[in-house]
Amino acid sequence: MKYKIGTMVELSTAGHKRQHNPDHVRTGFGIVTGHINSKPYPYQIMWFSKTHDSQDFVAKEYEIKRVKIPKSNKNKKNV
């Protein structure tokens, strides 16, 4: 599996295009809580959003991507 339990994810471009994904996952982020290879949607995710209560969500690998956390600016010098 590409994403391990505990990985922070968000919807990929392909995931946004899919009409079956509910509104509460179009914003916010999720944390992978499990995966079952034999299921059509193997990733189990707890999804968090400002506009909705946290909810369980299942997804295929191509529908999600890792959240990119911006690097800190504290080591950069002001020019």
> What are the structural domains of the chain?
8-66 (2.30.30.40)
- Radius of gyration of the CA atoms of the chain, in A: 15
Residues 51-68: pLDDT tens digits? 888 889 999 999 999 998
The pTM of this model reads 0.80
Q: With a cut of 70, which residues of the chain have pLDDT below it?
A: 73-79
Q: Which residues contact 32 (CB under 8 A, 6 or more apart)?
A: 3, 4, 5, 6, 7, 9, 43, 44, 45
Q: What is the DSSP letter of 67?
A: P
Instruction: Please work out, in degrees rounded to the nearest 5, the angle formed at the alpha carbon of residue 35 by the alpha carbons of 2 and 13.
Output: 55
Distances in whole angstroms, Cα of residue 21 to Cα of each of 11, 33, 74: 9, 18, 38
